[in-house]
Amino acid sequence: MTAGPARPNRVGVPALSISCDMLVFGGTGDLALHKLLPALYHLHRDGRLHADMRILALARSPHSRAAYQALAERRCRAQVARADFDEASWHGFAARLDYFAMDAGQSADFGRLAKHLGDAAERVRVYYLATAPDLFEDIAAHLQIAGLAGPKARIVLEKPIGHSLASAQAINAAIGAVFDESRVFRIDHYLGKETVQNLMALRFANALFEPVWRAGHIDHVQISVCETLGVENRGGYYDQAGAMRDMVQNHLLQLLCLVAMEAPVRFDAEAVRNEKVKILEALKPLSGLDVQDKTVRGQYTAGKIGGQEVPAYYFEKHVDNDSDSETFVAIQVEIDNWRWAGVPFYLRTGKRMARKASEILIQFKPVPHRLFGDGEANRLLIRLQPEERISLQLMAKNPGKGMRLKPVELDLNLAHAFSTQRRWDAYERLLLDVIEGDSTLFMRRDEVEAAWEWIDPIIQGWHQHYQSPRPYPAGSNGPEQSQNLLERHGRRWAD
């Protein structure tokens, strides 16, 4: 498998000097075809991949190399913007791309894989497990038996890492028996988003916010990840996981950590992750009656999204008709430390919501004395999607007589501010970090386990107190009870 030279670099940085094999288990799945291959194509097109890098997709389907390349091209054309798809670049990328049919559960197939790869001990090998988590342990063990887990090998694990603390610990122990922690990359694609990283820049590179980024000045924080989509073709997985395991345990808790963490002593993997773990360990436990008071589960019923009728969750493909899985979660969270004592964090995620939006709202407290009568308190809104932007709401005088105030926004649209540069997809950045061995934006073992340790009692409380999901119509803002979570304290969601 020989790759042609990459195109001249278009982003003003040198191409990688690392000779690397990228092996993608689950190579015919949606993640590989919709996210990973388009991201790798963009990196190739921009000259970020070593000329000798090889990409090998692995799955059970009996595709030939040519057939898989044709499949990959169709999917990439559908995912990549028309202006970004270049025929010459694709041919160069396809020269890197190979396919190997195998069963990840069969140890003998790993022996065949070792022969296919050949002896290249000097090369970095990255094993990306875009598979169900129940295959993680077997794949790691089979790689070791086949002699494919040498000191330069790295493994990438997609979420969720298990479905509970015990299962996460079992997976981590099995992976750790083969790969030391420095070579394990637990990926959360939210951490690769430009705006998420800008959150750290906003906090730690600007003197403006740090003095007021604390309980004395902030009333509350909202973190929302809302989707208009349903479960699509993930019904079988989602019905076992639910929104808590699928979204809260990883995406939302990671965002909370970045909002609440202290400044690391330096910007490297261990220092950043040390501070995130401290936040997870400071989360006030929720159990018993607290689960009923401070959490809301929901499940969408039939409704309209964009004028189109959509079915209820329990009529989705591969979902049980009597399913008790939640498609919506809202939680009131408290952090027991000096910076955040008494400040509620409201987390919310849901499918089939009224709008697609991932955003973080920092609601400041009002001024101590309202000199000009009524006015709104300042707030900082950090939008992750659909657009990436940061806006700060301030009070200003309305033109004309008197001192009538009006909220105005200082608005940073990242797409406009950096319009001369192509916006990287999160997977592009994270895949490049894996190849370079930079684990700053990946979760460490103790992070994953600390998150599960906090999540498990909530799920157990739901079952112990028979807290079934509250129905909400598709196209709404979730169950009414989620509004009450804030309104009883005089607050409201920023919808």
Query: Of residues 251, 369, 416, 463, which has the active-site annotation?
Result: 251
- Both tokens of 277, joined, read 């773990």
Peptide bond into 14 cis (omega under 30): no
C-beta separation of 451 from 253 below 8 A: yes
**Amino acid occupying residue 389:** R
374 is in an annotated binding site: no
Output the furthest CA–CA distance in the chain (Å, rounded).
83
351 is in an annotated binding site: yes
35 is in an annotated binding site: no
Question: Checking DSSP bridges between strand 308-310 and strand 303-305, what pairing results, if any?
Answer: antiparallel
> Can 251 be counted among the known catalytic residues?
yes
189 is in an annotated binding site: yes
> If DSSP states are collapsed to H, E and C, what string results for the chain?
CCCCCCCCCCCCCCCCCCCEEEEEECCCCHHHHHHHHHHHHHHHHCCCCCCCCEEEEEECCCCCHHHHHHHHHHHHHHHCCHHHCCHHHHHHHHHHEEEEECCCCCHHHHHHHHHHHCCCCCCEEEEEECCCHHHHHHHHHHHHHCCCCCCCEEEEEECCCCCCHHHHHHHHHHHHCCCCHHHEEEECHHHHCHHHHHHHHHHHCCCCCHHHCCCCCEEEEEEEEECCCCCCCCHHHHHHHHHHHHHHHHHHHHHHHHHHCCCCCCCCHHHHHHHHHHHHHHECCCCCHHHHHHEEEEEEECEEECCEEECCHHHCCCCCCCCCCCCEEEEEEEECCCCCCCCEEEEEEECCECCCEEEEEEEECCCCCCCCCCCCCCEEEEEEECCCEEEEEEEEECCCCCCCEEEEEEEEEHHHHCCCCCCCCHHHHHHHHHHHCCCCCCECHHHHHHHHHHHHHHHHHHHHCCCCCEEEECCECCCHHHHHHHHCCCCCCCC
158 is in an annotated binding site: no
Annotated binding site for substrate: 189, 193, 227, 246, 351, 356
Annotated binding site for NADP(+): 60, 159
- Catalytic center residues: 251
